[in-house]
A and B are shown apart, each in its own frame.
Chain A
Amino acid sequence: MSIVNRPGVCESYAFPNWLRTLITVGLRWLPAVLIVVAVVGFWEAYVRIFDVQKWLLPAPSVIAKTIGVDAGLLWGHTLATIEEIVVGFALALVCGFALATAIGLSRTIERALYPFIIASQTIPIIVIAPMLLIWVGYGLAPKVIVVALICFFPIVVNMVDGLKSVDSDVVSLMRTLGANRWAIFLKLQVPTSLPYLFSGLRIAIAFSVIGAVIGEWVGSSEGLGYLMIRSKPQFLTERVFAAIVILSALGVSLFAMVGIVERFALPWWHKEHGSRT
């Protein structure tokens, strides 16, 4: 206590505010940065010391250079992949929300639909994707369907859990205030389920990237997955890795974006539980 009260001692050694913020943020991400630096450093050293061929394993520096040189090409394919992800994710969100709502409103619908929703996840996407080409044609549609098929499951399961996790005492309270079934659903169940829904969205958005790549592998003419498939037989391994780096960055950014949307959509949740990202 006495140290705090002595004037000058604290202030003279205190950092300016911006620097303090920078240090706090820096310290928080330090472990992640250290891991990346260590892995990249080890990788670079290994490739140089053992003189590994570029087509076998390109050095990080080579991958970085490729990203710079092929920026235009990579950007075009990135946009194509983003389109598939966004449309597929939106489709999954709409269908997932509707399905979860139906299941949340009716036990009969739950018993009728839930087995099929779970079964849908046991379908090997790799097998289904080529069939989709035959069924819906060769365009955006099959990729969007693959993305949506992968994404909707965590959305539905989480939201259904959320709809069911209401406090039965609050239901009683609402009934004594004259609420009907519909009001209980809209004003209690749906708001209660939103934090659960966002947990589902985080998982879904992380899966969506791999969904888009699988969709492209099966048949496409653009997108990062397509670029990888095409570059491998040409021994352009550095381009494959460049695509992987971009896909990872894409995944992390989309994940962060869900977090930001959540922060605005559920301000009360963040005040209560603090930040999760």
Chain B
Amino acid sequence: MIGRLFCCHENLDFETGNDTMAISQQHNEAMASQSEQFHETRIIDVVGLGKVFDQNGQSLTVMERVNFHAYEGEFVSIIGPSGCGKSTLLNIIAGLDDQTEGSLKLRGEEASDRLGTVGYMQQKDLLLPWRSVLDNAIFGLELQGVSKREARDRASALMEQFGLDGFESEYPSALSGGMRQRVAFLRTVLADQQMFLLDEPFGALDALNRSQIHEWLLGLWERLNKTIVMVTHDVDEAIFLSDRVYVMSARPGTMRLVANVDLPRPRYLEMVTSEGFVELKTELLSAIRRESAS
């Protein structure tokens, strides 16, 4: 088995199934070995996080006791049913919103002024229609105060890597969905923040485009050496790309399961059909199915 599954112990009181309990018992031991494996600080460390929204007097508990972390340079995915608070969690990590409970540390510090330091690519590409591809790409640099000329130089150097060569002066409306997504990627990468949060970045792409962009993204991630946290609906995508995969429960969302993906790197498309991959996928899918059913 290539993946090790363990339940997040903080949620034990929510678990009723015996099989999940059994898995969770391995948790502490597995966790310990994992820390040794990385020898790194937790660049993101979320403990007991909760979020309650107030909506016209009614309170809506979106997340409860969420425990989540990512090590420096790690690629972590989060899967969960729709509406379970995945985007809310990313919003809080990025600093767009604050938790109502629990703690969030970035690089080991309470980061109350984290807004602007965490790269965040939302579900939509959010390109500005009046800016050319090149000027959309430099938007982050521009907001950080880098001069337009220098920003354009830096962006131009990366155009080819992002498959945008020759499209510099086009408006976004002339681009395909995949290309628009790559411009958004380039904008995020150029802003050069300490970590990247990606919220369902490939939702708009068809399967063929997806597998191509997965390999491309992995190449990029290896070169950049940055921490990536990605939210996705796609189990294959999560396993193929990640070091670890979190499974979230239905609302109120909490981390139900975390799986180590021990596939070797660099990864190739063919691994998707390997025995270990399929086994892990089956486990994750059944966990997700349990969540969606409850």
A35 within 8 A of B: no
Residues in B lying within 8 Å of A, measured CB to CB: 91, 94-96, 115-116, 118-120, 122, 124, 126, 128-130, 139-140, 142-144, 171, 173-174, 191
Q: Taking each of B94, B139, B144, B191, which has the highest tally of chain A beta carbons within 10 Å of its own beta carbon? A: B139
Q: Which of B118, B120, B142, B171 contacts A173 (CB 8 A)?
A: B120
A105 to chain B, nearest CB (A): 18
Chain B residues with CB under 8 Å of A173's CB are 120, 122, 126
Chain A residues with CB under 8 Å of B124's CB are 169
Q: Which of A167, A169, A268 contacts B171 (CB 8 A)?
A: A268
Are the CB atoms of A188 and B173 closer together than 8 Å?
no
Instruction: Bits for A182-204, please: 1 = Cβ < 8 Å to B, else 0.
Output: 01000110010010000000000
Are the CB atoms of B173 and A271 closer together than 8 Å?
yes
Chain B residues with CB under 8 Å of A170's CB are 126, 128
Are the CB atoms of B143 and A177 closer together than 8 Å?
yes
**In which size bucket is the chain A interface?**
20 to 34
Q: How far is it, in angstroms, between the C-alpha of A251 and the C-alpha of B119 when the chains are bound?
A: 51
Q: How far is it, in angstroms, between the C-alpha of A268 and the C-alpha of B91 when the chains are bound?
A: 31
Q: Which of A163-178 contact B (CB under 8 A)?
A: 167, 169-170, 172-178
A275 to chain B, nearest CB (A): 15
Are the CB atoms of A271 and B171 closer together than 8 Å?
yes
B126 to chain A, nearest CB (A): 5
List 13 contacting pairs A-B, 8 Å CB cutoff, sorted by A. A169-B122, A169-B124, A174-B143, A176-B96, A176-B116, A177-B144, A178-B143, A187-B139, A188-B128, A191-B128, A266-B130, A268-B171, A272-B171
B153 to chain A, nearest CB (A): 19
Known: A176-B118, A177-B140, A269-B130. 14 other contacts (CB 8 A): A169-B122, A169-B124, A173-B120, A173-B126, A175-B96, A178-B140, A179-B143, A187-B143, A191-B130, A194-B130, A268-B129, A268-B171, A269-B129, A272-B171
A152 to chain B, nearest CB (A): 25
Are the CB atoms of A177 and B171 closer together than 8 Å?
no
A18 to chain B, nearest CB (A): 28
Q: Taking each of A170, A188, A194, A266, which has the highest tally of chain B beta carbons within 10 Å of its own beta carbon? A: A170
Q: How far is it, in angstroms, between the C-alpha of A214 and the C-alpha of B119 when the chains are bound?
A: 58
Are the CB atoms of A176 and B115 closer together than 8 Å?
yes
Q: Taking each of A167, A173, A176, A187, which has the highest tally of chain B beta carbons within 10 Å of its own beta carbon? A: A176
Q: Which of A183, A191, A266, A271 contacts B143 (CB 8 A)?
A: A183
Which label, helix, strand, loop or mixed, suits the secondary structure of the A interface?
Answer: helix
Q: How far is it, in angstroms, between the C-alpha of A170 and the C-alpha of B140 when the chains are bound?
A: 12
Closest 7 pairs between A and B when the two form their complex, measured CB to CB: A178-B116, A177-B140, A176-B120, A272-B173, A179-B143, A177-B143, A268-B130
Are the CB atoms of B119 and A176 closer together than 8 Å?
yes
Chain A residues with CB under 8 Å of B174's CB are 271
B288 to chain A, nearest CB (A): 27
Chain A residues with CB under 8 Å of B144's CB are 177-178
Q: How far is it, in angstroms, between the C-alpha of A167 and the C-alpha of B171 when the chains are bound?
A: 18
- For B90, give the chain A residue with the smallest CB separation: A176
B231 to chain A, nearest CB (A): 15
Q: How far is it, in angstroms, between the C-alpha of A188 and the C-alpha of B130 when the chains are bound?
A: 10
Q: Taking each of B96, B120, B128, B174, which has the highest tally of chain A beta carbons within 10 Å of its own beta carbon? A: B128
Q: How far is it, in angstroms, between the C-alpha of A172 and the C-alpha of B96 when the chains are bound?
A: 7
Chain A residues with CB under 8 Å of B116's CB are 175-178
Q: How far is it, in angstroms, between the C-alpha of A266 and the C-alpha of B140 when the chains are bound?
A: 23
- For A175, give the chain B residue with the smallest CB separation: B115
Are the CB atoms of A272 and B129 closer together than 8 Å?
yes
Q: Taking each of B129, B173, B191, which has the highest tally of chain A beta carbons within 10 Å of its own beta carbon? A: B129
Q: How far is it, in angstroms, between the C-alpha of A150 and the C-alpha of B291 when the chains are bound?
A: 62
Chain B residues with CB under 8 Å of A177's CB are 116, 139-140, 143-144, 191
Q: Taking each of A173, A174, A194, which has the highest tally of chain B beta carbons within 10 Å of its own beta carbon? A: A173
Q: How far is it, in angstroms, between the C-alpha of A177 and the C-alpha of B129 when the chains are bound?
A: 18
